[in-house]
Structure 1
């Protein structure tokens, strides 16, 4: 059974790795010399060179650690990343993406510029901003950690009146061509991370807003696994709210076919079995492809698992023929951890119902000693999975071409 932890997703933009040489004192002096070239009014070519130099530093852990000590430089970088009409703004924004990808830098980054989330949010949701995707990626990385994520959610709530709240973010995510210069795929992981927050889940699950219904078609978004994975992660996180399961599985949302369809292949079923499936899962074409990303397949399975937390939910999932799709997926699946997640879900669907008082699996109180035993079993399973993956990698490596 999936645990109660809400997962986050990460975005990262590679930079040219480069670690500064010399002691920290030398770098402090270098940063002091570099700072004037990052500020407004600096000569354009020198500002561009300075931004590129900082971007290169963010490509390594030691470089990020040294930059984290330079509060004024970090503030100048944040301002430059949002500067209108500035050619070096992209490199500054990419540097922020890499800095935000390092959780050890988050505290210093936000201390240097407390309004950084607001700056980035404004640029990420600006339909004319050419580097909006970099701004979204930096926000996605910042929101991986609980404290910055909560702060960002607070920023979104405060910005709702000015039109920069969650509704605007969803509009940007769900509107094709919202920004002609930026695909904004990183808004997917950003929304997934934000859905860690109860306030975000309350917004997403508000029946009057019809937000979930707008997200469901994006589970099939073929242009970007990043956006698709972010949407699936968001739906999975929302499925932790078991009080909404009846609504999610009911006709107003009908979430289950959208979770099962990416897991379905071209297999044929008997007429009797076909009648048990939702209409959208019947008579799929012979070229139907399953979700190619193993992590997304696993999140889809985990979302369905969460929907089986209550007895009515389990019955609805059974009644819609989920077992048939999962049975074929299990036969096809080659990733051990996804296969194991599939097995656990199948066991829930075909197993006996829990005893009276334990029908809601998300509310069952597990004794500490039993929890420790389960954690130990989980660790053993993970070790077995790693061993299987190593063996599979060895087998595939042995079949490769040889040089003569």
Structure 2
């Protein structure tokens, strides 16, 4: 490993250096190789240095190796100092490897600690300036002619796990959330679409903004329900309860294909149902009608469970006085432990019923 590291250092012949980077990239394809490299921060530092190499192939392979390594949170400490540089590269409209920088930042920002460091790097650019630039890059078609920047979606979703990022996007004077809404139907990339829906879901944790999000100024609900709706026809009296965008949908209307995205949509709506006013709004807008048809169509166990939970909240009795806000209700520890135990038992029964399935987050490529 020491010998291999030596070949990555500046001053090495380009052909030898290229072969060494290729060998390191190969090591990142296995868990053992990633563990071997993650334990040696000098390799991460050398690869970061090589991402600035003027030879495209060398820089690209270095990025790919770092992307694979960044799936392991153990590497984030060594990669943390590079966050400001990666951010500047991402936001440079002429940078040819912006997609790779974006994917690396998306991986790094999944961990809360690194995410916080990235937000701090953004704030160093000026009050909210960094996040404003990220939003501008996301919402501007062709921002970088050489990069699609689809991983800006997951990056935004990761950033909004922090309250300060959510507060920035929910600032009524900036109209940020409204700019994201059309991307809930974005067909060009499931990665970008899922990132936006994850961002909106995270913003829904801020229940003080629910009335605004559900009101006419934002009107979030139809954008969350439309991907879950199919081509079903409703009786006239039911149709009139739905938002205009959900009425008389064409026969070729398809639901969101990605089950993870469908689940996030349901989770966002469930968060909006946390307050009494939110639940009332959801009922008035015919949310149950869309969920009823989705429940009959859905086959994925996790999505079906999320749908059933939301339906139960909408059709169940209202909580007693003082417990109307479900996000503020404090559950006793023993009750919470029993509920978690029941959830685990239910998950095990579900797994036995549908056969063993290996779940994998996969590595970003």
**TM-score, with length taken from structure 1:** 0.85
8 Å CA contact retained: 2:106, 2:155:
yes
Deviation at 1:299, TM superposition (A): 0.5
1:76 matched to 2:46:
yes
Unaligned runs of 5+ in 2: 359-365
2-structure distance, mates of 1:161, 1:75: 30
Matched, 1:131 2:131: no
Query: Which runs of structure 2 are paired with 1:106-255 in the superposition (5 Å)?
Result: 106-107=76-77, 109-110=78-79, 114-160=80-126, 165-255=130-220
Output aligned runs, 1:323-362, within 5 Å. Answer: 323-362=288-327
SS of the residue 2:355 aligns to: helix
Does the Cα contact within 8 Å between 2:91 and 2:137 map onto a contact in 1? yes
Question: Alignment partner for residue 97 of structure 1, among 67, 70, 83?
Answer: 67
Q: 1:161 to 1:253 in 2, by over 3 A?
A: closer
Partners of 2:54 and 2:169 lie apart in 1 by 32
Number of equivalences: 358
For 1:84 and 1:290, how far apart are their aligned partners in 2?
45
CA distance in 2, matches of 1:244, 1:337: 28
Cα distance in 1 between the residues matched to 2:240 and 2:234: 9
Distance 1:260 1:102 in 2: 35
Q: Which residue of 1 aligns with 2:363?
A: none
- Residue 28 of structure 1 corresponds to which residue in structure 2? 2
How many Å apart are 1:68 and its aligned residue? 2.5
SS in 2 for 1:88: helix
Moved more, 76-85 or 269-278: 76-85
**Could you tell me whether the CA contact under 8 Å between 1:52 and 1:91 is conserved in 2?**
yes
| Cα displacement (A) at 1:148 | 0.7
Q: What does residue 54 of structure 1 align with? A: 24
Provide the C-alpha distance between the structure 2 equivalents of 1:339 and 1:180, rounded to a whole number of angstroms.
Answer: 40
Contact 1:80/1:86 (8 A) holds in 2: no
Counterpart Cα distance in 1 of 2:212 and 2:68: 40
> Structure 1 residues 194 and 344, CA, compared in 2 at 3 Å: closer, same or farther?
same
Note closer, same or farther for the CA distance 1:60–1:391 as it changes in structure 2 (3 Å cut): closer
Cα shift at 1:55: 1.2
List alignment gaps of at least 5 residues for structure 1. 1-26, 394-404
Q: Give the whole-Å Cα distance in 2 for the aligned partners of 1:268 and 1:167.
A: 41
Which of structure 1's runs of 4+ aligned residues deviate more than 6 A?
A: none
When the two chains are superposed, the root-mean-square deviation of aligned CA atoms in Å is 1.8
Deviations 1:15-42 (A, max 9, x none): xxxxxxxxxxxx23332x3233xx2x54
1:268 aligns with one of 228, 233, 254? 233
